[in-house]
Structure 1
Amino acid sequence: MATDSFTRELDKVFDAVKGKKSEELLVTYKGVLYPAGMCHAETFQALDTMEVRKDDVFLVAYPKCGTNWVRQILNDLASAVSKNKEEVSTVQLMQMLEFGAPEKFQKMKNLPSPRIFITHLHCDDIPKAVFETKAKILVVFRNPKDAAVSYYHFYNKNPGLPNISSWDEFFQKFMCGEVCWSSYFDHALAWNKHMDEENIMIITYEEMKENLHGGVKQIAEFLGFSLPEEKIQSIADNATFQSMSNKSQETHGKFAPIIFRKGDVGDWKNLFTEDQSQEMDAKFEECLAGTKLGAKLKYDKYCKY
């Protein structure tokens, strides 16, 4: 079963990082920090020559912006449209582009379509072939204050990442882009340039929280999947935080408590100081105010007291 192999792989990674010093947990590639237990320079090099099919689907998100949530939705949508039920478990083997050994790219060639890949990579580091083939790209963003708080807790719960002694320290690292996968704002600015391309859809964590059924329907339509309303509803029901959290031990094993914490909107108010809030407001203003993505993020609604 796909989930069994997924949890086994995670267990192996956790075992490998036991007892390592903080500085040994991270690796730098082209100036960007990555978790050393999951990422290898050879894989990044092999990624550049990855073969991409036109019907591939790529899920892209900065860390802690809803990757696992939308991964589950894509998973269920792919299962629902798959005609050959024997292929479903293969389709469900979601491939994190930057994780694992380079040999995996050879194995990927044998996967049946539609193949679904996920990544936290910056837009410019995604293989050029993804854009050239016009494969479907679904990009998920979350308001930067909640993303920062969720990322802080993720760092400190995850044995594969160094412990950050305080929220204040993490906040400064987040603002400077000195965290794995670098700067949230650099990611956002890069995707803002692609907002109008028809093979790219940008959806936000917050709009999905407000209307999950509508979000699932929108994603299905973007992918060209025609499904009855009751199927859309059952996929949405299966993707609530409560439903996913209840099954997380089975789907994610030891990784479950690291991934599933609150899933709330507005949790940033529990950690941000007034000064930190103003610092991020100024950063948002400088980077994203007046942009299409900035407007889509509804910053004033979700990030102001």
Structure 2
Amino acid sequence: MAKQQMKLADEIEKVLAKSKGLSLKELRFFYQGTPYPVTICSAETFKALENLEARRDDIVLVSYPKCGANWLIQLLRDLLFTTSQTKQENMELPFIECGDPEKYERMKKLPSPRILATHLHYDNLPKSIFKNKAKILVLFRNPKDTAASFFHFHNNAPNVPSYSSWDEFFSEFMSGKVSWGSYFDHAVAWNKHIEDENVMIITYEDLKENLTTGVQKIAEFFGFSPTAERIQSIADRGSFQAMREKSQELYGSIGPILFRKGVVGDWKNLFTEAQSQEMDAKFKECLGGTKLEAHLKYNVYCKA
């Protein structure tokens, strides 16, 4: 296990080294109109991804960047091992669109159920996920904390190009010019599928508020039946603080940056009143009155 963790940490260090000296403009390339980081994504990989054959029992985890996906991946791995003794080793970069084009051949050898994590927009997911009716867990986080966390990642991660200011980042985030594109486009697309049979929405805030209940809901969604004691044990091991303490072991030097604070409301330390109102207006325009708005509890978490 330690060897596999080291392999993932080594892969991440290689990615960070590739970022050294790049400007923000050089960091990104566009594929089908969406910006992605050139250090971990490529057109060749995206083309190969189209032929990924999803399995019906795959555990698909979708999230926009900086919504807590790495935390949830570790929770899902623990849930899998606790309930089915399936051990998902940390051998690859954890997101299906990241890495070399040959990774999909290697993934064919992984035992079921596999965890397929991704930041991709609904329209860009491999079609076999829908064809084979794999279950999709969609993780959301309120957009203000998402933006704040994204900014801190860029400006704290070793070798990753920094923004000159929060104002510069905020402008790019609001116009969808950051890696993986617009938070709002991503949210609008998933809102259309919020009641699909194989889709479940969960929020970062709900997990922070009651992790035990969150783990229970996730287990039920994927058809696992762990005992209450096992659910509690997974939640205890998987608290954000516990994950932060072992993040360097799992992810290398970037671990404590991926698991930076984990608090709700950190956006208040960055947003001006004008920026807060601008995002309020954008959110209302895109998601006002929707079921996803109710899930996100925008007025609870995004009002000063």
Q: Quick check: TM above 0.5?
A: yes
Q: Which residue of 2 aligns with 1:76?
A: 78
Contact 1:94 1:116 survives alignment (8 Å): no
| Counterpart residue number, 2:41 | 39
Match of 2:25 in 1: 23
Structure 2 equivalent of residue 4 of structure 1: 6
Query: Could you tell me whether the CA contact under 8 Å between 1:26 and 1:34 is conserved in 2?
Result: yes
Separation of aligned partners in 1, 2:178 and 2:41 = 14
Q: Letter of the aligned partner of 2:43 in structure 1?
A: A
For residues 1-305 of structure 1, what are the structure 2 equivalents within 5 Å? 1=1, 2-83=4-85, 88-90=87-89, 95-159=94-158, 161-305=160-304
Q: Give RMSD over aligned pairs.
A: 1.5
Is the contact between residue 91 and residue 116 of structure 1 (CA under 8 Å) also seen in structure 2?
no
CA displacement 1:99-156 (0-9 Å, x = unmatched)? 1111111111111100111000111100111111110100000011111101110111
1:142-172 deviation line (CA, Å, top 9, x unaligned): 0111111011101112346421111111111
Quote the sequence identity (%).
Answer: 58
Q: Deviations over 1:265-304 (max 9, x none)?
A: 0111111111111101101110001111111111111111
In structure 2, C-alpha distance between the alignment counterparts of 1:153 and 1:29, rounded to whole Å: 25
Change over 3 Å in CA distance of 1:223–1:96 after alignment to 2:
same
Structure 2 unpaired stretches of 5+: none
Can you list the C-alpha shifts for 1:158-212, whole angstroms capped at 9, x where unaligned? 3464211111111111110010011100000000011111211100111111111
SS of structure 1 residue aligned to 2:162 = coil
What SS is found at the alignment partner of 1:88?
coil
Q: TM-score, normalised by structure 2?
A: 0.95
Contact kept, 8 Å, 2:5 with 2:251, in 1: the verdict is yes
Q: Distance in 1 between matches of 2:89 and 2:208?
A: 29
Pairwise CA distance, 1:16:
2.6
Is this contact kept in 2: 1:39–1:98, CA < 8 A? yes
Q: In 2, Cα distance between the equivalents of 1:115 and 1:234? A: 22
Partners of 2:22 and 2:126 lie apart in 1 by 31
Rounded Cα–Cα distance in structure 2 between residues aligned with 1:197 and 1:175:
28
Tell me, what secondary structure is at the counterpart of 1:213? Answer: helix
